[in-house]
Amino acid sequence: MSFMIPSAIKISSQFDAGNIEVLDLTNPQDIQLSIRKDNQSDFFQWFHFRVQGAANQPLTLRVLNAGQAAYVDGWPDYRAVASYDRETWFRVDTAYEADTGELVIQHTPAQNSIYFAYFAPYTWEQHLDLIAQAQQSALCEVHDIGTTLDGYDLNLLKISKPTESEAPAKKQIWVTARQHPGETMAEWCAEGFIARLLDEDDALAQSILEQAEFYVVPNMNPDGSIRGHLRTNACGANLNREWETPTAERSPEVLAVRSLMQQTGVDLFLDLHGDEALPCNFIAGQEGAPHLPDTILAQEDRFKQDLAQINPDFQLERGYPPGKFGPETFTIAAFWVGREFNCPSMTLEMPFKDYDNRPDADFGWSPERSIKLGESMLYPIHQWLQADL
């Protein structure tokens, strides 16, 4: 029995974190695409789509509106990622044509179904698996702390060891990731951090848990993640500009986390992000914030130095200039938390591009390296705890 299979190329994005609009698909050498804006927002840059029916055909995919994206300086030297199995994501030939404002991706698929994305996606199903697997540890409790505007769960992991009644009070450490949903490397990094912290055979992790309790929110922005947004939640709110005056109507995610922080207190805060333009890993502390105590700044500087010592994928030479955010400063998580609790409060930024000091021609900056960086974060935390003894 025989049947006819359609031979035309198809492009789709109707799946978790999908984002693309097809403008013209008639010529495989001139496929014209457009990235959809975040809902009720002008932000856009994240893309994630599937191409079918193009095995062994050279493709030229042109993203026509790349020149109007949120961070145009993120396109030079950037290469898109692709995957056949949605597990291994490799880099493909990509060029930004500044004169036309187009991002041009060229690739000849070896198989009939291939996915392209801005960075390796971290899907909602992966997130739910991460939460479920973490809960299998006796060290971890899963807490539902709210519901997003689209009706998704906002989960927090509390990671701690039992404490003897006469033991000193433990430090309260908070870690959040993916306030900006398109920055998926943040949740990959959180995965590595959580896994190592829960490893009962890891002496460093167990030593840390004798001195500290952790509150981890691996995905602060489920709605934007699922919708395929770059930077905002369901109603177009940039969560990392909502920390001074969050509301249930606009930013329930921030309101829930902030309220819990005020109950537990915060001794150290880490917020995990990605940066479109800089081809390196760096930490933005509270430099330039008004009335920042020298003791807090010194702790943040030491934290960065300790991380650079343990992981060569982290560097100290490049980052944001002090005072970069101007009047927005205290709407940002790290600055608001640092001021509210008078504690070290830092934003870890990872690249969408490759890390130029240690380039990888096949994979660039990747989920695997993000995971390893998350694992490395335990070392500077341990050093910070020891310095406080």
3-class SS string, 36-48: CCCCCCCCCCCCE
Q: Which residue, among 102, 3, 103, 23, has the nearest Cα to 11 in the 3D structure?
A: 23
Q: Are residues 378 and 303 in contact, defined by beta-carbon separation less than 8 angstroms?
A: no
Q: Are residues 142 and 155 in contact, defined by beta-carbon separation less than 8 angstroms?
A: yes
pLDDT band at residue 168 under the 50/70/90 scheme:
confident
Helix (H), strand (E) counts: the chain: 9, 17
Helix (H, G, I), strand (E, B) or coil at 74: helix
Relative to beta strand 268-275, strand 93-97 is unpaired
pLDDT band at residue 1 under the 50/70/90 scheme:
low
For 215, the token pair is 């509150």
Q: Give me the CATH code for the 124-387 domain, please.
A: 3.40.630.10
For 127, the token pair is 């997130």
Q: What sign does the CA torsion over 361, 367, 368, 373 have? A: positive
Q: Are residues 176 and 157 in contact, defined by beta-carbon separation less than 8 angstroms?
A: no
Q: Which residue, among 376, 387, 42, 370, has the nearest Cα to 183 in the 3D structure?
A: 370
Q: Is the pLDDT of residue 3 over 80?
A: no
Q: What single DSSP character describes residue 377?
A: T
DSSP letters of 184-238?
THHHHHHHHHHHHHT-TT-HHHHHHHTTEEEEEES-S-HHHHHHT-SS--TTS--
pLDDT band at residue 163 under the 50/70/90 scheme:
confident
pLDDT in tens, 298-351: 999 999 999 999 999 999 999 999 999 999 999 999 999 999 999 999 999 999
- DSSP alpha helices (H): ranges in the chain? 124-135, 185-197, 203-209, 222-227, 252-264, 294-310, 333-341, 367-376, 378-387
CA–CA separation, 330 and 338 (whole Å): 9
Q: Is the pLDDT of residue 5 over 80?
A: no
Q: Which of 87, 349, 368, 375 is catalytic?
A: 349
Residue 210 annotated among the catalytic residues of the structure: no
CA–CA separation, 210 and 162 (whole Å): 8
Q: Which residue, among 272, 287, 307, has the nearest Cα to 381 in the 3D structure?
A: 307
Stretch 248-269: mean pLDDT, rounded?
98
Q: Are residues 23 and 64 in contact, defined by beta-carbon separation less than 8 angstroms?
A: yes
Q: What is the pLDDT of residue 6?
A: 65
Q: Give me the CATH code for the 10-117 domain, please.
A: 2.60.40.3120
Q: Are residues 284 and 349 in contact, defined by beta-carbon separation less than 8 angstroms?
A: yes
Relative to beta strand 212-217, strand 171-177 is parallel
- Same fold for the pair 10-117 and 124-387: no
Stretch 31-39: mean pLDDT, rounded?
98
Q: Which residue, among 356, 168, 343, has the nearest Cα to 271 in the 3D structure?
A: 343
**Would you kindly state where each structural domain of the chain is located, as residue ranges?**
10-117, 124-387
Stretch 54-78: mean pLDDT, rounded?
98
pLDDT in tens, 132-151: 999 999 999 999 999 999 99
Chain-centre distance for alpha carbon 188: 7
pLDDT in tens, 93-138: 999 999 999 999 999 999 999 999 999 999 999 999 999 999 999 9
Q: Are residues 293 and 345 in contact, defined by beta-carbon separation less than 8 angstroms?
A: no
CA–CA separation, 244 and 223 (whole Å): 21
Taking residue 229's Cβ as centre, other Cβ atoms within 10 Å add up to 27
Stretch 358-382: mean pLDDT, rounded?
98
Q: Is the pLDDT of residue 234 over 70?
A: yes
Q: Which residue, among 193, 122, 119, 178, has the nearest Cα to 351 in the 3D structure?
A: 119
Helix (H, G, I), strand (E, B) or coil at 106: strand
